[in-house]
Structure 1
Amino acid sequence: MAGMQGVSKRWQVTERDVAWLAWIGRWRGATSVQVSAEFAGRGESAPKTVVDRRLRGLKEIGLAEMHRMVHDLPSAWSLTREGMNVAGVAGRVLKPRLADFRHDHEVIAIARQVAVDKPSHQLVTEREIRRLETPDGGVLKDPKYSVRMMGTGRSLRWLYPDLVSVSPEGQTWAHELEASRKDSRRLVRLMMAYIYADHITGVRYYAVPQVEATVKAAAAEANAAAAEIGRPRKIFVQPWRDISPRPATSTSRGRALPPEDAYSE
């Protein structure tokens, strides 16, 4: 296989391994449980025990790294530069960050749920969006997924969704996990950036219980402002599970996405 010169003969890298590496490379890091769930969801054989064993082998030959982040979640896996080369993943080598790990872990759960709810949608991760649409010198023409915040010159900045899903008809939906407290004014400003972004059909905010009321109030204000200026209602709020630290035996699950006419294909 191309890019495998010098790799230990003890482990023969398979096409399935490469597919798993490529998927992990879409994120800052992912657990073996998530790899197993993703590929099982595609109808492929990916028992966790097999995923664990293969990832340990890929670590042994220098394609992957394991990171123990928090006590109540499984270890995360990321790609080395060689692993990125083998999987065809471009960009910088990234590793999980402790400060963002719970958030990143949960966004993958959201992506799996969106894939089940809307199997015909193409998913684009934040890492992929940043790789495709990080502006050079502050200039980005015709973004497909990112959103320009209000302002000009040095105050100009870009908003990168946690996740994007694109329908076969080309409707682009942003998905944002809200798991930490934000000032309501800031939330409204972020939501209004999406309201003004013509290439974004709508945004679904997944709000944990601690911030759900604040996010819903901000969404109502942003949607009301949109109506006043003749723009469509774009902001929708989905309650999400509590992701604060908890015992590893917790079996809490995310709630299913409710039917939403504005989110129909």
Structure 2
Amino acid sequence: MILPHLRAIVPTGVNLIEQHRHPTRDTGLYWSLQESAPDGLSDLGIDAIICLAGVTPGPGADLSLNTPLALSVLRAAHEAGIPRVLLASSSAVYGAGDGTPLSETSPTAPVNPYGAAKLEMEEACAPWRGKGLEVCCLRIGNVAGADALLLNVAKSSGDKPLVIDCFDDGRGPVRSYIGVGTLAQVLYDLATQPGPLPEVLNIAAPGVVYMEDLAHAAGHPFDYRPAPAGAHQRITLDSSALAALHTIDADTSDAVQMVAQWKEALSR
């Protein structure tokens, strides 16, 4: 979903090399990250790698692969003399928090195996930084279109309502989100940032999104149910560190725009 937007914004003179895992494809760079990097990587003049590869929760998913996949990329970058790697982590490393926006200095206390796996991956980056490689772990919030709600929209029939938890204030869960088009611009700007990047960086639009607003924007019906005991209404990110490196317009936090970016990517 990110690549169509990324292709559209990369300026003339910048070479975007797309990694893939299809041996018969005649464009891009064939590289299964569970294997050694292809020969000649150092000859391609690569300035930065954006690594979004990883294993997400699902039936049969081996979350422990997140660390070796990342290490494969870091090893290859170091050996090829590629100075910068942007590595997809997750806001799940923080856990639920206390309801206030989570910053990069907030404690990490993952509450599920996915968050624990991503935190393990982050910690495995330290030796490679010691070798001189710049590694920025991107603690990405919810990406509209790769999130549970819109994935459910995509696979459900149009007349079957979603079910959204309702809290005491009459609203649903509120989370930090980013649209795929906005994320593509953030990734490009970070990859080409002239100065050094932090070791970890929250990635989210500046505002927050209520789940029911996202459902409305997608034009999909939903029903409320009482939020179960222990449910967390507000889990959000402080994205001020990102704002210091990249300007994100306030309207990119709008659920309608995020859904539009998602649908545009699917249509390309």
TM > 0.5: no
TM-score (normalizing by structure 2):
0.28
Structure with more contact order per residue of length (Cα contacts < 8 Å, sep ≥ 6): 2
